[in-house]
Amino acid sequence: MFLNQEGACHRVDMASLFYMERMADIDLLTIIGPTASGKTALAAALAYRKGAEIISGDSRQVYRGMDLGTGKDLEDYIFDSFQVPYHLIDIVAPGYKYNVFEYQRDFLSVYEGIRNRGKLPILCGGTGMYIESVLKGYRLLPVPENPELRERLAKYSLTELTDILSSYKKLHNSTDVDTVKRAIRAIEIEEYYRNMPVKEREFPELKSLIIGVDIDRESRREKISRRLRQRLEDGMVDEVRHLLDQGVSPEDLMYYGLEYKYLTQYVIGELTYEEMVHGLEIAIHQFAKRQMTWFRGMERRGFTIHWINAALTMEEKLDKIEELLR
């Protein structure tokens, strides 16, 4: 049972002691899981209990005004009228091409601020590349545009560009090739790293206890489908129309993939409503599967992930995390 506001204040004080005594051997907690697994609610409940602050690890929730399409669920951050502090949500304008290099920089700034306040940082999200980039601490640099390469690639179809990108690396994330523009940018990045040796950049080696929310396939599919329909009822199409009216180009919206790709195609008349819903539902299911593939890959790359059954009650999940921290 969650405490009332007075109790919450007491817990915040106790959390500081917990942080000093028990977090000596780890730097932060990380909660990961596929879309619709309940990871955000779990992170917020844990943060409320510990007086902690959440750092988002989602590549699209950084954009202002892109709320329903990215599934921000900001109401999950409020318990008993208490606002759980969160970071790296709503930090850039829609249409901007935020990247993992900028995420590393922004994460580090927020992380250090939380630590300096004596609080526990909780990293929570489903973008495997962003999560792994800060936990592994590998160096990433901003990649400049290559006009000559872009001109050479402009003549190729999306299928041909996908084949070209596959020659650089194994494709773990098919959103890299959702559109011609994304595929060309992905090739541009890989070409840059192939020809420009990257020196190690100073980035702290963070020791993290990683919690994975494990939801069975059928439950995940049911929640994804139900959640999609709810977001459509809540006005997700209108959200896209508003972004277009604000001057965000259809191409820039489709760059973000998934909801924004299919909804934009519907709004500009390329898809019927039924085609949009059907295609988007399939795409989100596939995306969730790719998320799990990435997380399993993290385990193969040396990360220890402690999986917790999504079907447990919130208190049972929190108790299991407490056990891991003892």
User: What's the whole-number mean pLDDT along residues 134-144?
Assistant: 77
Confidence class for position 297, pLDDT limits 50, 70, 90: very high
Closest Cα to residue 90, out of 108, 70, 109?
A: 70
Rg of the chain (C-alpha set): 20
pLDDT at 199 over 80: no
Tokens of 116: 């300096």
Spatial CB neighbours of 304, under 8 Å, sequence gap ≥ 6: 210
pLDDT digits (tens, 9 = 90+) for 141-183: 678 899 999 999 999 999 999 999 989 876 655 555 678 988 8
Average pLDDT over residues 110-117: 97
Kindly report, residue by residue over 3-13, the tens digit of the pLDDT: 333 444 444 45
Q: What is the mean pLDDT of residues 261-287?
A: 98
pLDDT tens digits for range 218-261: 999 999 999 999 999 999 999 999 999 999 999 999 999 999 99
| DSSP SS3 for 221 | helix
| 268: its two tokens | 């500009």
Q: Which range has the worst mean pLDDT, 131-145, 201-215, 237-251, 258-272?
A: 131-145
Q: What is the DSSP string of 83-133?
A: E--EESSS-B-TT----HHHHHHHHHHHHHHHHHTT--EEEEES-HHHHHH
Higher pLDDT, 190 or 14: 190
State pTM to two decimals. Answer: 0.79
Between CA 228 and CA 236 the distance in angstroms is 9
Long-range Cβ pairs for the range 38-41 (8 Å, 24+): 38/213, 38/215, 38/310, 39/124, 39/125, 39/126, 39/213, 40/73, 40/76, 40/77, 40/124, 41/73, 41/76, 41/314
Is residue 1's pLDDT more than 70? no
Question: Which position has the token pair 């909801």?
Answer: 259
Within a 10 A sphere around the Cβ of 316, how many other Cβ atoms? 11
Q: Is residue 125 a contact partner of residue 57, using CB atoms and an 8 Å limit?
A: yes
Contact 210, 304 (CB under 8 A): yes
- What is the pLDDT at residue 138? 63
